């Protein structure tokens, strides 16, 4: 089951499976590191919930909810194992 990045709570991490945005935005986010297989952590939310700050590999970016809801992934727990079944075949990652 896929989860939208916009549904992650601060501290939760997901492995990106699909960036369902128009090609120009998709290419831009891919240059920043939002590509299939990347682990992205929700760092914080603005007081009213929008935008949301995500971090990966020492970088951070704030995305609007309307953008983050179009990035799909599999939620992982804090030891790096998938906790929701996905196209990874339901196998836990080490």
pTM here is: 0.77
CATH assignment of the domain containing 32: 2.30.30.90
Residue 5: count of CB within 10 angstroms of its CB: 23
Q: Give the count of domains, the chain.
A: 1
| Distance (Å, whole) CA 42 – CA 89 | 24
Question: Looking at the domain assignment, is residue 86 inside a domain?
Answer: no
Question: Looking at the domain assignment, is residue 41 inside a domain?
Answer: yes
Domain that holds residue 7: 3-76
What confidence tens digit (pLDDT) does each residue in 9-43 have? 999 999 999 999 999 999 999 998 888 899 999 99
Question: Looking at the domain assignment, is residue 94 inside a domain?
Answer: no
């Amino acid at each position: 089951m896929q989860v939208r990045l916009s549904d992650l709570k601060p501290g939760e991490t997901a492995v990106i499976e699909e960036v369902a945005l128009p090609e120009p935005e998709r290419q831009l986010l891919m240059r920043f590191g939002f590509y299939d297989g990347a682990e992205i952590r929700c760092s914080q939310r603005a007081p009213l919930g929008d935008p949301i700050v995500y971090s990966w590999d020492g970088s951070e970016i704030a995305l609007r909810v309307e953008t983050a809801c179009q990035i799909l992934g599999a939620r992982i727990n804090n030891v790096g194992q998938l906790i929701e079944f996905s196209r990874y075949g339901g196998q836990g990652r080490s």
